[in-house]
Chain A
Amino acid sequence: MLKIENLHASVAGKKILKGINLSIGAGEVHAIMGPNGSGKSTLSNVIAGRDGYEVTAGSVTYQGNDLLAMAPEERAWAGVFLAFQYPVEIPGVNNTYMLKAGVNAKRKHQGEQELDAIDFMQLVKEKAKLVELDQSFLSRGVNEGFSGGEKKRNEIFQMAVLEPTLALLDETDSGLDIDALRVVAHGVNALRSPERSIIMVTHYQRLLDYIEPDFVHVLVDGEILKTGDKSLALELESRGYDWVKAEAAA
């Protein structure tokens, strides 16, 4: 499904990713954990195609295609979705309008018929329930005046509507209180399926209590130093990251 090989990337000339290797199969949930500044968000942004990230070596292959050669919207059409760490507010752009344009661009690209307004509203209302997003949010400007928790719920709601095959959740748990975290996690779990791979980037083990990963990777200073199952996350929680660094250096 997704294969990352020897990925090196820089931001403003500064090397951030220093040889990432990662293979993600269909339906798998991977957690990438690491301290601040380890390159977690850079990895998400490189996969989603944000400007300003220069890939200096390596490759990212998605469903057999060179992902790095694709524009951000082409990646979206191919089924890649990024839930942003800091979702931007876009006053004046209606939340539902944006999603309808996104869904229909993807359908058009895949040779499917575009959804009409009525079908789309039905879809949107159904998905909004999944993350307990009040319907009044649907007609508001994208994230406009949303609280932190509402923004994160809106991201998962969009994921539900866009039905990606690869979802990157960039620190989706940060800034959430425990009740909001439960709601968001419930939404993500409901979206788990054999066709959908999920990458969760986080530095809190707490999220993994609610969304159980198949694999946990430890990202430190631009490299994946250790891979394990969910018990690795618990170990990181109690012991911190230094022992992983020491182990890798040895």
Chain B
Amino acid sequence: MSDVALNDIRLDIAGLPGNAGVQALRQQAADVFARTGLPGKRAEDWKYTDLSRLSAVLGESWWVTAAQTEPADVHVIDDLDAYRLVFVAGQFQAEQSNLPTGVQMLPLADFLANDTAERGHCLFHVDESAPLFNGLMAANTALASDGLCACIGDDVQLDKPLYIIHNGSSTAHVLNGLMLGRNAKVTLIEHFVGAGSDAALSNIATYLRLGENAELRHYRLQLESDKQFHIGRVEVKQARDSRYILHAVELGAQLSRADIVVDLAEPGASCALHGLFVASGRQHIDHHTRIDHNAPHCRSRENYRTVLDGRSHAVFNGKIVVAEGAIKTDSAQSNGNLLLSKNAGVDTKPELEIYNDDVKCAHGVTVGQLDEDQLFYLKSRGLSTEEARQLLTFAFADEILTAMDIPAVRRFIEHKAFAKLPNMTDLEGLLG
């Protein structure tokens, strides 16, 4: 990256919130970003996702955030009883939001404005040795405008989910940090949505820390406009006996990449990652997941289902690393891919690195079309070809949908997911 570009970033940073310590960390991140730049196709973790499209479409200064425009009218989950945090173009909208009381929770920009101490904040430390580290993470740290900053205290169970709506039709770098204390229990819903007609970048990093025996259910719903580039990072660190449950849904964006990095750091911690991609047109969707079993008696479950139509392309890379001392590890990974079109494609790769003998690790991958025997069976019972295809497509995604424990979210996703596919007309009857 040129010195001119780096100077531009430095100038951008000067206008962003943060005390002297945070500003210094932002500058350090900018240096890292300037050095590493965008991940190229030669990097093993970016073999199937070509980010050169990002600069080709958005120009040389693709990271520059746009001025806030009138928010586009977007479809959100209305029948959801939740605390709402609305961000438009990476900026918190107080008048559209309602935050819970009695917990430490602020928009990041407010937090930074009120934090006059000179030391930096841990959210702004760039760790180049982190799994799946890339330049976009450093760009996020350098340029983050806003986000969620919350510490949920010991034994606190939020009575309603936290529903974060990112209305992102312009380029934004958003940084979220959520810490759960001992025995705390929270449901976090991140909903990325947009209706912009121009291409832009959503660069979203979410750092999660779970204290002892804490439980976090995390819905990550990516329904950006079909012009948008979406880059996501979810980093989870789990203490003893904590439970992390992810429901990741990818429906939107022209190119979407998310890195999900989970550190099962202490004994008894568990995580379950449920993923659903429904892609059509020329959409490209990529999830790289990395689960580190760093302690004994931890459990991880991973189930990703992708439904691909048109010329869409999906990438799934599931890496599981079991450390030497992580005995009694129990891990299972499954990735199913349904290709509804001859021109759709998928690159899927399970990666297991196991450094002790006392583990149980299962993994399986399937790639295929709709099953002819099942289609014939349904037709022989009087269902039309379209109805039968619709029903089997739905059945394929069923495991992921039924794992969602909030009916309003599930209904919303069901409708959005299957409305995307051709001939999915009679949804009312199907979804009963």
Contacts and interface: CB of A to CB of B under 8 A. Distances in A.
Interface residues of A, number: 32
Contact of B432 (A50, A71, A97, A142): A97
A144 to B, nearest CB: 10
A102 B377 contact: no
A224 interface: no
B395 A101 contact: no
Contacts, number: 80
A142 B376 CA distance: 13
B116 interface: no
B377 A84 contact: yes
B379 A99 contact: no
Contact of A92 (B372, B373, B394, B432): B394
Contacts of A75: 380
Nearest to A100: B429
Contacts of B383: 73, 98, 101-102, 105
Chain B interface residue number, banded: 20 to 34
Contacts of A162: 381-382
B398 A92 contact: yes
Interface stretch (B61-69, B384-392, B413-421): B384-392
Nearest to A81: B380
A50 B376 contact: yes
B385 A73 contact: yes
A77 B380 CA distance: 9
Nearest to A72: B379
B374 interface: yes
Contact of A90 (B377, B379, B385, B429): B377
B429 to A, nearest CB: 7
A158 B398 CA distance: 23
Interface in A100-130: 101-103, 105-106, 117
A88 B377 CA distance: 7
A156 B284 CA distance: 46
Contacts of A93: 374, 378, 391-392, 394-395
Interface of B: 371-374, 376-385, 387-388, 391-392, 394-396, 398-399, 429, 432
28 contacts: A48-B380, A49-B379, A49-B380, A72-B376, A72-B379, A73-B382, A73-B383, A73-B388, A76-B379, A76-B382, A82-B380, A84-B377, A88-B374, A90-B377, A91-B395, A93-B374, A93-B378, A93-B392, A93-B395, A97-B391, A97-B432, A101-B381, A101-B391, A102-B378, A105-B387, A106-B382, A162-B381, A162-B382
